[in-house]
Amino acid sequence: MEEAQRRALRRGRARLVAALRVAPLWEPLERRGLFTRPMVEEMQSAGSRGDQARQLVIDLETRGKRAFPLFLSILRDTGQGDLADMLMQECGHLPAPPQLGDLRPVELDLRGEKYNKSSAVDKRNRDLVYELKSDPCGRCLILNNVNFSRDSDLSTRDGSDVDCEKLEKRFKALSFDVLTRRDLPAQKMVSELQELARQDHSALDCCVVVILSHGCQTSHIQFPGGVYGTDGKAIPVEKIVNYFNGSHCPSLRGKPKLFFIQACGGEQRDRGFVVDGDSPGDEAPGGSLESDTTPFQTPAGNVDQPDAVASLPTPSDILVSYSTFPGFVSWRDASSGSWYVETLDSVLEQYARSEDLLNMLLRVANAVSAKGRYKQIPGCFNFLRKKFFFRCK
């Protein structure tokens, strides 16, 4: 398939997912040799009609030079000529690729905004950027635990509401449909996460989960750390992430799934090391400065058990951003919120229009690492396949 045809399919994917009637297509797709029967059955097992449509459009790109014109012909034969016309129009509007000798800067219209080669990506690696075209671009769930039961021996997380309010405003400004839940026990947290994963995301382009809570170390295979419900029961981050993988949430297959965790990774306090030149500020953690740490505990109860090894597929299109290095304390100020969220919000405000997510997370790590006498450095586990740019309003 020609590159112009592939790009036409990608540009038209949102409309195809929303409108394509797949049931009449399976027989002619097989009869005309585009797909074998096992291939058709695999696409039919993708989930809802929208999920099947999305998988069909993705798989079409792998079916050779005849795939695009044959698909258009089948669309017209099944009374879906308007979609065929849309794809032809998208194909005709695509710019010709630059010649090898053309070294002039080019501009890419990405998310409705223009970026030149030096500030973002050029059109030759457009395929390495996630497309965010839907409005809203995705759902954002924020779980904000502030008050914990007496039996949990966990302190009130003063300042967390400040974090929550900042992130609510920020992700709304980034074109997300934001839902916030406050002070949930572990099983209620699990229920909210599972409910989000069960929803149909076919017409959306991504998903965000934010968790603000106390944290701890847990046994894990892929993603370290755990977060506490208000009842003092821990949920492994690994379990949270796997609710949204391709096996459990088919409508998010191939789409970026972003997790932001403001919680301690353990109880170690990092005093840092001396560096040459100007030293970072000597702000001592005291007064209203608190941590979100609790000692390591073996998970108890079925809500806390990590998934079995055999049920963990290879993660893809997933990024988990942690407020601190596994095993270490994450600092929070009672009046201004956590170092991590305060910095993340500021960086998103300044750079979301021009930089991709990974570059912004480097800025967050650099800024947070310079704070305080006790040190903290955020990090992430990145399994994204492409660059991620937020879509700013």
Which of 137, 140, 264, 380 does the annotation list as catalytic? 264
Query: What contacts 343, CB < 8 A, 6 or more positions away?
Result: 364, 367, 368
Cα 228 versus chain centre, distance: 21
List the one residue out of 307, 334, 340, 308 whose CA is nearest residue 322: 340
Which of 91, 140, 214, 216 does the annotation list as catalytic? 214
For 73-200, list the strands marked E by DSSP. 107-110, 113-116, 138-144, 176-182
Number of neighbours of residue 281 by Cβ within 10 angstroms: 10
Tell me what pLDDT residue 110 has.
45
**Whether 303 contacts 190, CB under 8 Å:** yes
Query: Is residue 264 annotated as part of the catalytic site, yes or no?
Result: yes
Query: Is residue 214 annotated as part of the catalytic site, yes or no?
Result: yes
The edge-to-edge listing of strands for the beta sheet with 234-236 is 215-216, 226-228, 234-236
Tell me what pLDDT residue 353 has.
93
Cα 343 versus chain centre, distance: 19
Structure tokens at 81: 């000529």
- pLDDT digit string, tens, across residues 168-177: 999 999 999 9
Least confident of 17-21, 219-223, 307-311, 387-391: 307-311
Q: Which residue has the higher pLDDT, 124 or 46?
A: 46
Q: Which residue has the higher pLDDT, 223 or 370?
A: 223
332 falls in which pLDDT band (50, 70, 90)? Answer: low
Q: Which residue has the higher pLDDT, 275 or 330?
A: 330
Tell me what pLDDT residue 338 has.
83
Taking residues 276-295, what's their average pLDDT?
45
What is the C-alpha separation between 393 and 371, in angstroms, rounded? Answer: 31
What is the C-alpha separation between 105 and 32, in angstroms, rounded? Answer: 43
What residues pair up with 206 in beta bridges, in sequence order?
138
Which segment, 36-40, 95-99, 254-258, is predicted with the most confidence on average? 254-258
**Whether 216 contacts 298, CB under 8 Å:** no
Indicate if the pLDDT at residue 347 is higher than 70.
yes
Taking residues 250-255, what's their average pLDDT?
90
Backbone angles phi, psi at 17, to 5 degrees: -65, -35
Q: Which residue has the higher pLDDT, 280 or 215?
A: 215
- pLDDT digit string, tens, across residues 50-83: 888 888 888 888 788 888 889 899 999 999 989 9
**Whether 174 contacts 391, CB under 8 Å:** yes
Return the SS3 of 201.
coil
Domains and CATH numbers, the chain: 3-94 (1.10.533.10), 138-383 (3.40.50.1460)
